Structure 1
Amino acid sequence: MPEEPKQTNPHIKKVPRPKRRVGLWTYIISIVVALGIGVGGTYWLIGRQVNAQLSSMQQTSKAMKKIESVYETINENYYKPVNANKLANGAINGMVNSLGDKFSEYMDKSETESLNDTIDSSFSGIGAQVQKSGNYVQIISPIAGTPAKKAGLKPKDIIKAVNGKSVAGKTLTQAVSMMRGKIGTTVKLTIERSGQTFTVSLKRAKIPVTTVDYKLVGGDKKIGYITVSTFSTNTAKEFKTALKALDKKGAKKLVIDMRGNPGGLMTAALKMASIFLKNGKTIMQVQARDGSTEKYTASKKYDGGFKETKSTTVLIDGGSASAAEIFSAALHQSAGVKLVGSQSYGKGTVQTVTTFNDKTEMKITVAKWLTPNGTWINKKGLTPDVKADEPSYASLTVISKVSDLQADKVNSNVKTFQKYLQALGYFKGTVNGYFGDSTTSAVKQYQKHAKLTVNGKVDKQTLTKIETELANKISDNDRAYDAAMKLIEKTN
């Protein structure tokens, strides 16, 4: 790693240099890029850059004096005593927020601990990766096997309130802190999806430490199917273990499922992608603010000499972000691996995390990352070679109140319920949100099928059975998975 440039601003010189933790941010690992002048630069160029640096220092000096003046004015003249740390933290938050970058943030001690827990996948909570979206919080992706996934939360769902308290104006880490808590306790989220708002209750759980799952599918065709839920500390090691285990089982081809993977450590993505690439092939590029780029290429440094040469296909969707996109793009562009599914999320920036002496931290975006061919996919995502979306009923909202599902009632929950029954083949009427005779008849048909009391009334047991059957249907009609299997079977 290049040496970090020395601090030249006299107003910052006296402050002890904070320790920089590189390689631990959940979405994308950071890279510190040093700026310098080549030996061949002309005196004119050097002089120009020195003048520019002096001008920048003067501007910084004026800004710091203004901040100091405001601080002193408030501290000495406000009508009641103020907390010095609160003022300082407010100033820092204000500067970071002025960037308008949802991935840059100042974190207090508790928020820092929360970040470290997330990196190690050792926290308790609902199991969803989130980001800021306007005044609220948006789900990037629910993690497989977690309360968020089981409750049917989807990428792009907006979290508007936690336990009835609005998250409007809260920092991302503050909102996450509201959602976390002791294992087994319940948290209620107010969710907005496609213009509809509903409430869902989740029981907090230990978020799985294991991030890689695998099995042999395809019968005699012996296809190794690997799912990667996130990129954390042990993911690369787990991934290599999965590949070796599938090889022993006789796997001839591979399907790697990156759907719903919100990303994680860039180092894990580099190690995993290198396994599939010939040494020297580009995994990714990082572009600094001055436009210079640094390439990261496959080598023994990342994969330890372990290579995988089986025919491979990768599944992606709107919940595949950051490190998941680095991995997928590397295999696609540098190893000719086909992508199947739907457009990925599109996060193409790099953050550094700076740790201060008081155990607070600040993360800021310092660079862009580019795919092997130099494409910046930010807010665009990766386009699959074979497009295969989920069925429309896979994105239905969660029904928040069973009490809404009563005869003669008209509301959004009834409308969603009618769509449930329609997807299962029981409701033939018009989806209009009115619980009339056609809806009652459909409920009776389902209750008869499920061997429940046939009365046309929706209780918790009936709704749970319907939700479970719908979830199974979604799983059984996984178009992207089927397309990936069809494609890999044709591959030599």
Structure 2
Amino acid sequence: MPEQPKQTDPATTDDPNVNPHLKSKKPRSKRRVGLWTYIISIIVALGVGIGGTYWVLGRAVTQQINSMQQTSSAMKKIQSVYATISDNYYEPVNSNKLANGAINGMVSSLGDKFSEYMDKSETESLNDTIDSSFSGIGAQVQKSGSYIQIISPIADTPAKKAGLKPKDIIKKVNGKSIAGKTLTQAVNLMRGKVGTTVSLEIERAGKTFTVNLKRAKIPVTTVDYKMVGGDKKIGYVTVSTFSTNTAKEFKTALKALDKKGAKKLIIDMRGNPGGLMTAALKMASMFVKNGKTIMQVQTRGAQAEKYVAGKKYDGGFKETKPTTVLIDGGSASAAEIFSAALNQSAGVKLVGSQSYGKGTVQTVSTFSDKTEMKITVAKWLTPNGSWINKKGLTPDVKAAEPDYASLTVISKPDNLKAGKVNDDIKTLQQYLKALGYFKDDANGYFGGSTTDAVKAYQKHAKIKDNGEVDKNTLTRLETELANKIGDNDNAYNAALKLMSK
């Protein structure tokens, strides 16, 4: 049988691409262990079993012969094009560049944003981040058309603090368009030393603005917890990603909350971009009875393979407290697997808004020249067999963020001048309206009513009330709005109410 490429778990996307050289030599498979610690999505090791054979021998042999004939014909055509260009193009051609272009074209033709090819330099750059701390902006991203889309900003990172949201489109990095660049190329532009600044042009809901982020070390700790709900004694656990140590951290958190007297649990998966499938399986198994399904994986032409809860994953540790899980549009991949498992196999209610919807499995093949290829090889299904790809999980209790939680960042504070008309002024008016200082419609014109609203806010903030929006006024506004968003966390409040019954 032909050598099988390394298989990985369903992860949110953005990672590598790869290089299958136009040679007869088979690619050398190599299992990579560890988290894709990048500002991108995390690829996870998941052993996907090769399905059983369901064809009669004659049919299988016939199909294999037909496949070989088709492959032979296709390869002859590729070789002919390669030779023609190499021998006849009017300028000398770099053979490696030509081969990489052909490979890239084949992978791109799949039309699958999760299937990518990465040349040697891109592979080395990405591998530098595996299993180590890294610096960046702290957002998981994926390819979206010609540009890059944010899946989810990671908690307590520059991207999250700057107000970036799931589905924001990154169009420029440091003033340069990233149209047409590979995911890895775009990500590398956003990486850099801790403390340095990167400028991103963001498109959100048809509007464009610029935000400057100071790169930081992305937090390694992925689980946080505390007691909430007063005498209701509710344990609140947040999980930012699924990394190598997340399951261990999660178990420690659950035990610590138990010692504190927690009687119920709220697990917050909002903004969690996913990660290691092994971590999701271990964590879900803690809540699901042994033998019940956590997830399913279905390869082409095969029956779905079930992954069931048991000591293999949870080590015999079980959590039986009443629980609810928070999800939103930034909950993806492994976060969705965990949430779906608890919902469908343990009767746990989901609260919040529709999750991201990442329901495919990728393999990563590493070749002898240190290039890589990642392609989608399977679907992952929820315990009841649903495929949530591009759909997401629907919460049992819907509780969306308030409208003002999605306001854009003011890109050019210098635009906030009396007498001007622009989108930044419209955003300023929306800030003031959300805080109760602006009563008119936000029209983008800095007139008398806007000046009065700014003055009223400045008096409230006990700063110079001249009606002019300086840096101090804007910073105070943004901080107060952020606090209001936190205080009016509809999903959290709904979960707290549900667990307080």
Q: Structure 1, residues 233-288: CA drift from partner, whole Å, max 9, x if none?
A: 11111111111111121111110000001111111100110011111010000011
**2:362 counterpart of 1:346:** no
Code of the residue aligned with 1:34 in structure 2: it is I
- Contact 1:313-1:337 at 8 Å conserved across structures: yes
Match of 1:457 in 2: 468
Q: Distance between the aligned counterparts of 1:369 and 1:237, measured in 2?
A: 24
State the Cα distance separating 1:113 from its structure 2 match. Answer: 4.2
TM-score of the superposed pair, with normalisation by structure 1: 0.94
**2:375 counterpart of 1:359:** no
**2:166 counterpart of 1:155:** yes
Q: Distance between the aligned counterparts of 2:33 and 2:114, measured in 1?
A: 16
Match of 1:240 in 2: 251
**2:476 counterpart of 1:470:** no
Q: Distance between the aligned counterparts of 2:312 and 2:129, measured in 1?
A: 26
State the Cα distance separating 1:122 from its structure 2 match. Answer: 2.1
- Contact 2:122-2:185 at 8 Å conserved across structures: yes
Match of 2:10 in 1: none
Code of the residue aligned with 2:391 in structure 1: it is K
1:247-258 paired onto structure 2 within 5 Å:
247-258=258-269
**2:135 counterpart of 1:124:** yes
Q: Which moved more, 1:15-24 or 1:59-68?
A: 15-24
**2:499 counterpart of 1:488:** yes
* Equivalent residue in structure 2 for 1:135, among 142, 146, 152: 146
State the Cα distance separating 1:108 from its structure 2 match. Answer: 2.4
Q: Distance between the aligned counterparts of 1:359 and 1:170, measured in 2?
A: 21
Label 1:5 to 1:404 Cα distance change in 2 as closer, same or farther (>3 A): closer
TM-score of the superposed pair, with normalisation by structure 2: 0.92
1:252-331 paired onto structure 2 within 5 Å:
252-331=263-342
- Contact 2:34-2:130 at 8 Å conserved across structures: no
Identity percentage of aligned residues: 80
Q: Distance between the aligned counterparts of 1:398 and 1:14, measured in 2?
A: 52
Q: What is the DSSP-based 3-state SS (H/G/I as helix, E as strand, rest coil) of the residue aligned with 1:369?
A: strand
Q: Distance between the aligned counterparts of 1:193 and 1:183, measured in 2?
A: 27
Runs of 4+ with deviation above 6 angstroms = none
State the Cα distance separating 1:410 from its structure 2 match. Answer: 0.2
State the Cα distance separating 1:347 from its structure 2 match. Answer: 0.6
- Contact 2:32-2:45 at 8 Å conserved across structures: no
Q: Distance between the aligned counterparts of 2:248 and 2:2, measured in 1?
A: 29
Q: What is the DSSP-based 3-state SS (H/G/I as helix, E as strand, rest coil) of the residue aligned with 1:462?
A: helix
Q: Structure 1, residues 10-31: CA drift from partner, whole Å, max 9, x if none?
A: x976435332447766155444
- Contact 2:158-2:214 at 8 Å conserved across structures: yes
* Equivalent residue in structure 1 for 2:202, among 191, 194, 197: 191
- Contact 2:34-2:244 at 8 Å conserved across structures: no
Code of the residue aligned with 1:107 in structure 2: it is M
- Contact 2:285-2:310 at 8 Å conserved across structures: yes
- Contact 1:23-1:30 at 8 Å conserved across structures: no
Q: Structure 1, residues 353-373: CA drift from partner, whole Å, max 9, x if none?
A: 111112111111000000000
1:23-422 paired onto structure 2 within 5 Å:
26-27=42-43, 29-37=45-53, 45-116=56-127, 120=131, 122-422=133-433
Q: Structure 1, residues 142-182: CA drift from partner, whole Å, max 9, x if none?
A: 00000000000000001111111111111111111111111
Label 1:29 to 1:348 Cα distance change in 2 as closer, same or farther (>3 A): farther
State the Cα distance separating 1:429 from its structure 2 match. Answer: 1.9
- Contact 1:406-1:435 at 8 Å conserved across structures: yes
- Structure 1 unaligned segments of length 5 or more: list them: none
- Contact 1:224-1:251 at 8 Å conserved across structures: yes
Q: Distance between the aligned counterparts of 1:16 and 1:168, measured in 2?
A: 31
Q: Distance between the aligned counterparts of 2:68 and 2:371, measured in 1?
A: 26
Match of 2:18 in 1: none
Q: Which moved more, 1:116-125 or 1:171-180?
A: 116-125
- Contact 1:288-1:368 at 8 Å conserved across structures: yes
Q: Distance between the aligned counterparts of 2:208 and 2:76, measured in 1?
A: 47
State the Cα distance separating 1:33 from its structure 2 match. Answer: 3.9
Q: What is the DSSP-based 3-state SS (H/G/I as helix, E as strand, rest coil) of the residue aligned with 2:500?
A: helix
Q: Structure 1, residues 378-423: CA drift from partner, whole Å, max 9, x if none?
A: 1111010100000000000000001100000000000010000000
Q: Distance between the aligned counterparts of 1:76 and 1:53, measured in 2?
A: 34
Label 1:121 to 1:207 Cα distance change in 2 as closer, same or farther (>3 A): farther
Q: What is the DSSP-based 3-state SS (H/G/I as helix, E as strand, rest coil) of the residue aligned with 1:351?
A: strand
- Structure 2 unaligned segments of length 5 or more: list them: 6-21, 37-41
Asked which structure has the greater RCO (Cα within 8 Å, sep 6+), the reply is 2
**2:449 counterpart of 1:433:** no
Q: Distance between the aligned counterparts of 2:308 and 2:395, measured in 1?
A: 23
Tell me the number of residue pairs that the alignment of Structure 1 and Structure 2 aligns. Answer: 480
- Contact 2:28-2:366 at 8 Å conserved across structures: no
Q: Structure 1, residues 118-147: CA drift from partner, whole Å, max 9, x if none?
A: 653622110000111111111000000000
- Contact 1:128-1:140 at 8 Å conserved across structures: yes
Q: What is the DSSP-based 3-state SS (H/G/I as helix, E as strand, rest coil) of the residue aligned with 1:19?
A: coil
